[in-house]
Amino acid sequence: MGRFITRRLISLVVVVIAITLVVFMLSRATGDPRYLYMSSYTRMTAEVWEAQGKAMGLDKPLIVQYLVWVKNAAQGDFGDSVHFRRNSLDLILKFLPATLQLSGISFLCALLIGIPLGVLSAVKRTTGWDYLGRSFALLGQAAPPFWIALVFIWIFSVYLGWLPTSRKGDWTHYVMPVITLGWLPAAGLLRLTRSSMLEVLDSEYVKLARAKGVSTKAIIWKHAFRNSLIAPLTYAAILLANFLTGTVVVETVFAWPGLGRLSVMAALNTDFPLITGLALVFSVIFLLCSLVADILYALLDPRIRIS
């Protein structure tokens, strides 16, 4: 197991290095960074322009600029935001808790809804419960999140007046964003759990347990459910990364003060220091969640460790 984790960590480091290289090159491909901070550059003298470039390290070779940038990024210094005039890391840390709260609650709801409904749909195959669960999954995976959000706002805020449309506040502000963000992953977990349960329920050892007179409850929860959790649990770890990095649409529609909305503001204002910082943070989060998924998969299925 130690060798397995070591190999995954080495591959993670390689991917992080590749991501930093891509992000740095994209930030330089947009033009001279001095234009971002010096809107009145046309009226500046050549001496001032040159001094500003030297202060930003632009007089050094590109490889040296990259190494300096990586060193600063490793220390949490992504540069100052052009739009907010504050350190980019401070802004990210300020907006991060709201995203963690929204993502955490949505992730928990997706687990508590998707997995039990998947088990119920598999056990009650071809019944009304099965059709209801599959309809829930089909709608959740077919409807875009922004469309679901707009429909919820029109029904529960505009027409009924039950829930607030935006901002972060008491529990009522969480209802629509949580459902919008959690419906798609809950649908994916439902379908994955259902297919895994059906495969296990049709296996030979389950048929043997039925022939020996084992109770239906024991077959479902002791034999079938435990052996069908490998795929949903590893998928859930990847889902967690998608929750943290894929909140852009939901946070924008509901004006949620999180990293997703901050990313949109950074893009609209061409705030490259903040964009690069967000890109690195999102990449590291996604890679760490992928590592957790690999470790979970290896713990649940020893064949992965052996291979």
Length of the chain: 307
Instruction: Give the pLDDT score at 301.
Output: 63
d(CA 144, CA 148): 6
CATH class of 88-306: mainly alpha
Most distant pair of Cα atoms in the chain: their distance: 90
Give the helix ranges, DSSP H, for 124-218: 128-142, 145-152, 172-201, 204-211, 216-218
* Domain boundary assignment for the chain: 2-74, 88-306
d(CA 258, CA 161): 25
Residue 57 has a CB neighbour count (10 Å cut-off) of 13
Structure tokens at 171: 């529990």
- What is the residue type of 180? T
Of the candidates 75, 106, 237, 257, the one whose C-alpha atom is nearest the C-alpha of residue 182 is 106
DSSP SS3 for 223: helix
CA atoms 78, 83, 86, 92: torsion sign:
negative
Instruction: Give the pLDDT score at 169.
Output: 76
CA angle in degrees (0–180, nearest 5) for 214-215-219 = 80
d(CA 75, CA 69): 10
- What is the residue type of 15? V
Q: What are the DSSP E strand ranges found in 20-147?
A: none
pLDDT in tens, the chain (307 residues): 677 778 878 888 888 888 888 888 877 766 666 666 665 545 666 666 676 666 666 667 778 878 888 888 888 888 778 778 888 888 999 998 998 899 889 989 998 999 899 888 888 888 888 899 889 888 888 888 888 889 999 999 888 888 888 777 788 888 999 999 888 889 989 988 888 888 888 878 777 877 878 777 787 887 788 778 777 877 787 787 777 767 888 888 888 888 888 988 888 887 888 888 888 888 888 888 888 877 777 776 665 555 5
Instruction: Give the pLDDT score at 273.
Output: 82
